[in-house]
Chain A
Amino acid sequence: MTTQEQIQVEEKLRKVQELYADAPEIGRVALKKGVEEGLARELAAAMQRESAGRIGARQGKVSELTAIIPLEPGGGKRIRGLLDLLGGNFKGADIVGTLHDMRFVLLENDTKLLFCTAYDGEWDTYIDDFATKIPTSMDILFCNCAGWPGISSPKIKDWIVSHQLTADAWYVASPNLTVAETKRLEKIGAAVDEFLDKIG
């Protein structure tokens, strides 16, 4: 570590101690222990924040999209019903090829939707493709959101941004593995095993 990095870490340590000055007893004790156990290393390893384009965070090739969206009257009931019928199975999303995961959580008596996803690249790059390739699925699901302009509307990107919140912190284990790359590695792994089985 250079002297300058050392100074930066010490500054961070001072700040975190300041933040925790009025924390509950359990937190103050834990922080003290944390400092002894090497919190400085963690702080020194902190990475620069990356943006996923207009909004959202990004780590390597993976980006996050988090949105809290008010629903149309009756929209919550429809989404809950639809998700139940799908049995939580979104196999159809495979076709998109960039989605690592998706989470739907209905909030506040089913009046709002929390939607979270991790995906490859920048989302707005492929919005037009959604509009021509899977407009029906998109509109069936998201028509329940208040003010949904329709996936084909020129206003769609602004609408999404208006509901999106950038994650304050986010962890990705393999920031350089896209969904396509993961599938490729799975295939290679299987082929190697098959090969080893044959010669072994």
Chain B
Amino acid sequence: MSPPKVELHEIQATVLRLRPAPYYGSHVLFRVDDAKAGHEFLRRLAPHVDSAANWWKPADAWISVAISYAGFKALGLPAESLQSFPEAFRVGMAARARELRDEGVNDPKNWEPLFGNGEAHIGLNAFSDSMEKWQRIVEMAREQLRDLHGVRVLAVQDFGMQPGDRNSLGYKDGIDQPAMEGVGVDPLPGQGNPIKAGEFILGYPGETGVPLPMPQPDILGRNGTYVGFRKYQSRVGAFNRFLHANGKTEDEREFVAAKLVGRWRSGAPLTLAPDADDPALGADPHRNNDFNYAGDTHGRRAPFGCHIRRMNPRDTQLTRLTDVNIHRLIRRGTTYGKPYDPNELSEDADNVERGAIFLFISAKAMATMEFLQQEWIDEGNFIGLGEERDPIIGRQEEGAYFTIPKEPVRRRVHGIETFNVLRGGEYFFMPSLSALRWLGEFQM
């Protein structure tokens, strides 16, 4: 039986369309003070939101629109509709801090005041391949607010690729995305068997064969998906100090940096390039993800605890019964702030405004993020590493270390710190284009 065709013309482009390279963009957060104005704003925005039809073709500039639970309340959605959203979405990301292990330095009480208080109602995201088109499309979006009292901009966060296609810790990122069934494109080499569309988009069967419950009414939920928005600040000084403490030469430091992630900074995977970087491999989308761990069962190439092996263990033997396919997220990572500099070692460098904002997209984004935070990020048990945590996005306790398997005995590098600190986050629902129009025409 062939999988159901996904209604691409109904789904917002950002769900499937890849980030351009280079990329420029903004995240804009709005507050709805007046429900009618909120409807009108969505009605005006809807025609400007791209669908995912032909998502594999490069596009020059597009926006996506998503709404938080507080936003749906502010828009006056009826109670039975509000109640049809999953609990974690209703209470919001901050209230799920325990389940998300957002504790200590990542505790919501330490977040930027913008987040976690029910203020962010609508999240608009703009992506573009050029600075000029990016500015034009953001201006277009803001133009829709003209003469509209009752919706206001809370914050604008610009982002963009850093020199050489790198993120805030100096790595090429965003390489490994889950492949999905029924979306009209064959998986890239190494992406694995396509995952059922219902894991990522509401209204289709998931990996269990059953569709996930949708928010009601049907027009609101179908072809929509959830977005976990998380803003991290990178502590570049701490990261560089750690590398210097564990590597006397640049080569030694780059080796440790590669071991932490499982890829060289160029994106070349350690599984395919274990001893030295291979920038041409890193740059080639048909080769840079084309591997599994069958030949690396001891983690001597890619350590078990490295970031990419945690986030997608592929065929790694895990200690717990796990279906790797049901814990994946589509990631739209966006880097903001000052570019990475390997020579910045000061504590001041930790406080510079720079880092990454992620959109984590899935039909059950809340449950998946909680799973990942509990099991694959702030834990090591699933992969036989006890309490070791993800060295890149984990929240580290005093005395944290990272294990590098090698012959004859493993090496442990000490002094791992929380290199990326959570500055805030929200859950949004990214409705279909029909749902956006329905919300725009909504009569209270």
Contact = CB atoms under 8 A, between A and B. Distances in A.
B321 A152 contact: no
Contact of B320 (A98, A122, A135): A98
B384 A180 contact: yes
Contact of B208 (A125, A135, A181): A135
B321 A181 contact: no
B320 A128 contact: no
A135 B323 CA distance: 12
B81 interface: no
Interface in B156-212: 207-210, 212
Interface string A146-183: 00000011100000000000000000000000111101
A125 B381 contact: no
B374 A152 contact: no
The number of chain B residues touching the other chain, given as a range, is 20 to 34
Interface string A120-152: 111001101111111100000000000000001
Interface in B314-332: 318-323, 325-326
B384 A128 contact: no
Given A129-B326, A152-B210, A134 B321 contact: yes
Given A122-B374, A128-B326, A180 B320 contact: yes
Contacts of A153: 210
B381 A180 contact: yes
A1 interface: no
Nearest to A157: B367
What is the interface of chain B mostly: helix, strand, loop, or mixed? Answer: loop
B386 A181 contact: yes
A96 interface: yes
B10 interface: no
B375 interface: yes
A133 B320 contact: no
B374 A121 contact: yes
A95 interface: yes
Interface string B232-243: 000000000000
B213 interface: yes
A125 B318 CA distance: 15
A152 B209 contact: yes
**3 residue pairs, one from A and one from B, having the closest CB atoms:** A180-B319, A152-B208, A97-B320
Interface of B: 99, 207-210, 212-213, 318-323, 325-326, 367, 370-371, 374-375, 381-382, 384, 386
12 contacts: A61-B381, A96-B320, A97-B318, A98-B321, A121-B375, A122-B374, A125-B374, A126-B321, A126-B322, A128-B208, A132-B208, A180-B320
Interface of A: 53, 61, 95-98, 120-122, 125-126, 128-135, 152-154, 178-181, 183-184
